[in-house]
Amino acid sequence: MQHNRHPVGFRAALPHTAGWYQTRAINPLCGDEIELAAHLQPCQTAIDQPALLLSELVFCGDSCAICTASASMLCAQMPGQSARQAAPLAQQFIDFVHQRSPLSDQRLQPLSVFAQLQQLPNRKSCAILPWQALQDVLAAVNKSEHQ
Amino acid sequence: MSAVISEHDARTQHWRDDFPLLSRQVHGKPLVYFDSAATAQRPRQVLQAMDDFYRQHNANVHRGVHSLSGEATDLFEAARRKLCQHINASSEREVIFTRGSTEAINLVAQAYLRPLLQAGDEILISHMEHHSNIVPWQMLREQTGAVLKVIPVTDSGELDLQALPELISERTRMLGLVHVSNALGTINPVREVCALARRHGITTIIDGAQAMPHLAVDVQALGCDFYTMSGHKMYGPTGIGALYGREALLEAMPPWQGGGEMIRTVTFEETTWNDLPAKFEAGTPNIAGAIGLGAAVDYIAKIGLDAIAAHEQDLLQFATDKMREIDGLRIIGEARDKASVVSFVIDGVHPHDLGTIVDHHGFAIRTGHHCTMPLIKRFGLPATARASLALYNTRHEIESFIPALRQACDMLR
């Protein structure tokens, strides 16, 4: 409820300056629609290889409390990850919501509150939407890097 | 609870008693079913008719010479006859059984309009259509190069009749209009629109899925060319509906789907088509479904649509007045002529969260875009909550809904 009322990373509009990548995600079953923007900046890993670091995440849109809270927690927990690590972490959360596997990564532990969705199976897609959006934006960045 | 409310509800309690599912509980609370626009509940008379068919008369229709097949055929065709009389079609040949209103619209799009359309021809629909009366025409647009034009909707959720004449041109071939909006409850002036269309030589198709449970429908009086119906919206089973089409149009149309039943003779060189209505009913039909639909028609006719409409209009006014007392609640769709559907939003409360919370109090409402995404977007909303009322709902249920709404607001605001 706290994350719904005071969402981390919520903006009236997404930034479009250098380093920001945007995506839009819609849940066609219910009409939830969010836009997510990720700021990625180059960094050097410990083994001196270039990588992209997810430095900030923001979102906007009109969505239900569960989707808003999930997006807020995404924006709170994911900055500081490399782009390469972030996509599997997103999948870990999605799998957790679908009860396919537990939340093993420490960074995702605050999201264990979404275990309550087992009692609200119709609302799982609301929680997953922002994380699918993160996967989409990372995939798009990855694709443009390889082109 | 006031004595006046109890007395009011007592008059319709015997209707409610016909619906076995209404006695169940949800999350330990009595079910209050406010989602009849999504699907209505089925009275025991419909369930009995279908059960009887499967237990006593089950056989395939039309083709057998044995007695059981004759019985099944009689029951199936009796259902068609009932529906024909119910909508005042001039002949049973004009009533085609389909899976529902959606399939009926697709049938008309592909079998009636597609052969006639040239690139640049126009199809006119309204901004308040259900996706089933939008997407088939969009698909036709892709197939033929036709143009789709949209009649606007006013802020009160009514058809903008002033804009309509300007949208008609000499290229307009079809006008599709929903009779009763599932999202807003608006009852459209179908007779007037069909008269206008006729003056311009435009064929009309009316989506009657939500109208059939609430209004008396007389297709000849309405003056439409096609009218679509959905069994499960009118207390019948799922998987069955019907298309009414004027006989002359249906006669001239090529078949929709090919297979058994719709043929007269088959050789590998040439196949000839069966007469109406069989021409458009390929394969073994949903026999039990049609019989159930016939029983639903009987059920509605026995109570009488006047009595149903009077009850539902009372509930609509009662619900509207009560809900307007909630701070920040806005009703979406305030047409002068409405069926018993209340779509609403509450400031600071997302419809999905509202729906989840009231569900825990036993209330089944619908939230989302109601398969009318363009319409909901036109009102600048991501979604609405919708309470849709039927003959088995009561003032007591509406009274008990208000505290549940208030609690949801307290939790979420």
A32 interfaces chain B, CB cutoff of 8 Å: yes
Residue A49: band (very low, low, confident or very high) from pLDDT cuts 50, 70, 90: low
CA-nearest residue to A65 within chain B is B353
**Which residue of A30, A34, A35, A116 is the best one to mutate when testing the B interface, meaning the one whose CB has the most B CBs within 10 A?**
A30
Tell me whether residue B371 is one of the annotated catalytic residues: yes
A3 interfaces chain B, CB cutoff of 8 Å: no
**CATH 1.10.150.240 fits domain B47-302:** no
Q: At A8, phi and psi to the nearest 5?
A: -70, 135
Q: At B343, phi and psi to the nearest 5?
A: -95, 135
Count the neighbouring beta carbons within 10 Å of the beta carbon of residue A86: 25
pLDDT value, residue A46: 54
What ipTM was predicted for this assembly?
0.82
Nearest C-alpha neighbor of B95 from the set B177, B181, B217: B217
Instruction: Say which CATH number the domain at A76 has.
Output: 3.90.1010.10
pLDDT value, residue A44: 66
The tokens of B382 are what? Answer: 């991501």
Model confidence, pTM: 0.92
Give me the residue spans of the domains in chain B.
Answer: 3-42+304-412, 47-302
Measure A68 CA to nearest chain B CA, in Å.
10
The reply to whether residue A29 touches residue B368, judged by beta carbons under 8 angstroms, is yes
E strand spans, B13-82: 25-26, 29-30, 32-33
Partner residue facing B368 (CB), from A30, A65, A66:
A30
Distance CA(B164)–CA(B125), nearest Å, equals 10
The reply to whether residue A31 touches residue B382, judged by beta carbons under 8 angstroms, is yes
Distance CA(B211)–CA(B188), nearest Å, equals 10
Tell me whether strands B329-332 and B341-346 are parallel, antiparallel or unpaired: antiparallel
pLDDT value, residue B359: 96
Taking each helix axis from N to C terminus, what angle separates B287-303 and B305-323, rounded to the nearest 10 degrees? 80
pLDDT of residue A30 exceeding 80: no
Distance CA(B288)–CA(A46), nearest Å, equals 70
Return the CATH number of B3-42+304-412, one of 3.90.1150.10, 3.40.50.300, 3.30.565.10, 4.10.490.10. Answer: 3.90.1150.10
pLDDT of residue A2 exceeding 90: no
Domain coverage including residue A102: 2-146
| All residues at 6 or more sequence positions from A110 whose CB lies less than 8 Å from its CB, including other chains | A73, A76, A77
Partner residue facing A30 (CB), from B367, B411, B412:
B367
B131 interfaces chain A, CB cutoff of 8 Å: no
Residue A51: band (very low, low, confident or very high) from pLDDT cuts 50, 70, 90: confident
Q: Which residues of B touch A31 (CB under 8 A)?
A: 368-369, 373, 376, 382-383
CA-nearest residue to B385 within chain A is A30
Partner residue facing B353 (CB), from A29, A62, A65:
A65
The reply to whether residue A31 touches residue B412, judged by beta carbons under 8 angstroms, is no
A125 interfaces chain B, CB cutoff of 8 Å: no
Whole-number percent of chain A with pLDDT over 90: 51
**Which residue of A4, A35, A64 is the best one to mutate when testing the B interface, meaning the one whose CB has the most B CBs within 10 A?**
A64
pLDDT of residue A62 exceeding 70: yes
B149 interfaces chain A, CB cutoff of 8 Å: no
pLDDT value, residue B1: 47
Instruction: Report how many Cβ contacts below 8 Å link chain A to chain B.
Output: 37
Total number of domains constituting chain A: 1
Show pLDDT as tens, one digit a residue, over chain B (413 residues). 455 667 778 889 999 999 999 999 999 999 999 999 999 999 999 999 999 999 999 999 997 889 999 999 999 999 999 999 999 999 999 999 999 999 999 999 999 999 999 999 999 999 999 999 999 999 999 999 999 999 999 999 999 999 999 999 999 999 999 999 999 999 999 999 999 999 999 999 999 999 999 999 999 999 999 999 999 999 999 999 999 999 999 999 999 999 999 999 999 999 999 999 999 999 999 999 999 999 999 999 999 999 999 999 999 999 999 999 999 999 999 999 999 999 999 999 999 999 999 999 999 999 999 999 999 999 999 899 999 999 999 999 999 999 999 999 999 88
The reply to whether residue B376 touches residue A30, judged by beta carbons under 8 angstroms, is no
pLDDT value, residue B344: 98
Partners of B351 in the β-ladder: none
The reply to whether residue B383 touches residue A30, judged by beta carbons under 8 angstroms, is yes
pLDDT value, residue B5: 61
Q: Catalytic pick from B194, B224, B371, B409?
A: B371
pLDDT of residue A142 exceeding 90: no
The reply to whether residue B412 touches residue A65, judged by beta carbons under 8 angstroms, is yes
